[in-house]
Structure 1
Amino acid sequence: MIPRTEADMRELPVAGRPPAERADAALNRRRILRAAAEVIAARGPAAVSMDEVARAAGVGVGTVYRRFGDRARLVYAVIDDRERDFQDAFIHGPPPLGPGAAPPERLRAFLHALADRTEAQAELLLMAEADPPGARFRDGSYALYHMHLAMLLARIRPGADTAYLADALLAPLAANLFLHQRRVRGMPLERVKAGLDALAGALIAAPEPS
């Protein structure tokens, strides 16, 4: 069920927050994430492999697989700190991104903030979203974004198909399309944000469904 109140959203946990761990498990996690970040910084996200990260971290490759499952989850863990900050901002932070602003303002603020967030780590997000195929939609962050947008859209357009519309607003922020627009078509970030504003504005101004 989609939350319909600010209180519902404020009670949502931040997706991806690691559970409490034993000291040795927490140490291994830090070693693995530090090693993965160093591989990415040195040679780019495409160079990340579970074997190489295990060697750099000084742990067995089985430990890496048990802790993270696959390469996509490892990459998501590397970007988790920024992701948790972003999620905290739209769930608990000040308006217009956080609670307190009118739904149309929050909708636009969220799309702009998500564009900034994608800009900051687009290559990592591209890798995480593509490996394995469809990983973007299985990640807890996407589900949380969708829930948040659906809640705002339900307030703006009661009775609309908010589940579909939330997916439609998130589609332009898939990392592959975002990077194509930014690097192949040469669109500045402000143009991307203006396009998101146009999409949001069309939804906000649309007549109520019969």
Structure 2
Amino acid sequence: MTGRFPSLPLLPPDADAEGVIAATGSALAPPGAPQPLRADAARNRTRLLEAASGLLAECGAANLTMEALAAAAGVGKGTVFRRFGDRAGLFLALLDHREQQLQAAFLSGPPPLGPGAPAAERLHAFGPAVLRHERDHHEVILAARTDPVRPYRVPAARLRLTHVTMLLRETGASGDAELIAHTLLGSLDTALVHHLVVGRGMPLDRLEAGWHTLVDRLAPPR
């Protein structure tokens, strides 16, 4: 992050997925987003997302437009815009459920990714889990990136940063744990992973090995 942007406050070290998204009902909605939907509105949103998922599988993210979704769901285009705001908002909504599943895995799932393993082991498990998540959803994640700063401000990003910072502190890593966490998370960036795997032809195993090397150097065992 550059000096033009204020540092985001870290979430409480014991934050859980429900606590992080309580204010917005979403893991990926930006701060200040509307409150959770009423039951009927939530059902309508789910139907739209199901239609969007079908279109995504058929034609890919590049061809998933608000107009196409409205036609597939049998609603007016205005309804789609009111529900998601814009195309980036639609992609964020599609990603939200899968992001919450990832959060649940590293916050409360089985070790070594979840609680119960030493902090260093959890750090080693965290990178490959995120790498696979970013690889599997890279098309939608990249399509949602219309604002270069937005990915750092959503609750999901803040939670990842808090989680890695907490684990670094538990390992006794020297230096600024929050900045080290940013460095580690930077190696998992979706655009970078996509470039290395698709553009450079690197196997995901190589990226995972790189993560383990970074963890060992930045948070060496005590």
**By the TM > 0.5 criterion, same fold?**
yes
Q: Tell me the CA shift for residue 35 of structure 1.
A: 1.9
Letter of the 2:189 counterpart = A
Letter of the 1:167 counterpart = H
- Kept in 2: contact 1:3–1:151 (CA 8 A): no
Residues 120-155 of structure 1: per-residue CA shift (max 9 Å, x gap): 112111212x22333321322111101101111122
Say if 2:182 is the partner of 1:167: yes
Q: Which moved more, 1:64-73 or 1:98-107?
A: 64-73
| Partner residue in 2 for 1:151 | 166
Q: Aligned partners of 1:156 and 1:73: how far apart in 2?
A: 37
Say if 2:53 is the partner of 1:37: yes
Letter of the 2:116 counterpart = G
Matches within 5 A, 1:100-115: 100-115=116-131
Matches within 5 A, 1:1-210: 2=10, 8-10=14-16, 13=19, 15=21, 16=26, 21-128=37-144, 130-157=145-172, 160-205=175-220
Q: Tell me the CA shift for residue 39 of structure 1.
A: 1.8
Residues 68-100 of structure 1: per-residue CA shift (max 9 Å, x gap): 222222112112222111100111111111111
Larger helix share, 1 or 2: 1
Unmatched 5+ stretches in structure 1: none
Q: Classify 1:54/1:183 alpha carbon distance in 2 versus 1 (closer, same or farther; 3 Å).
A: same
- Kept in 2: contact 1:71–1:131 (CA 8 A): no
Structure number with higher relative contact order (C-alpha < 8 Å, ≥ 6 residues apart): 2
Q: Aligned partners of 1:100 and 1:125: how far apart in 2?
A: 31
Q: Secondary structure at the match of 1:141?
A: helix
Q: Tell me the CA shift for residue 190 of structure 1.
A: 0.5
Q: Aligned partners of 2:85 and 2:128: how far apart in 1?
A: 32
Count of aligned pairs: 204
Q: Aligned partners of 2:173 and 2:213: how far apart in 1?
A: 20
Q: Secondary structure at the match of 2:15?
A: helix
Q: Aligned partners of 1:167 and 1:12: how far apart in 2?
A: 23
Q: Which moved more, 1:198-207 or 1:24-33?
A: 198-207
- Kept in 2: contact 1:14–1:84 (CA 8 A): no
Q: Tell me the CA shift for residue 118 of structure 1.
A: 1.2
Q: Classify 1:87/1:11 alpha carbon distance in 2 versus 1 (closer, same or farther; 3 Å).
A: closer
Root-mean-square deviation (CA), in Å? 2.4
Q: Tell me the CA shift for residue 161 of structure 1.
A: 1.1
TM (norm. structure 1) is 0.86
Unmatched 5+ stretches in structure 2: 1-8, 30-34
Residues 37-88 of structure 1: per-residue CA shift (max 9 Å, x gap): 1221111111122222122222233322222222222112112222111100
Letter of the 1:200 counterpart = V
Letter of the 1:198 counterpart = T
Q: Tell me the CA shift for residue 14 of structure 1.
A: 5.5
Residues 10-52 of structure 1: per-residue CA shift (max 9 Å, x gap): 4753642696533431232022101211221111111122222
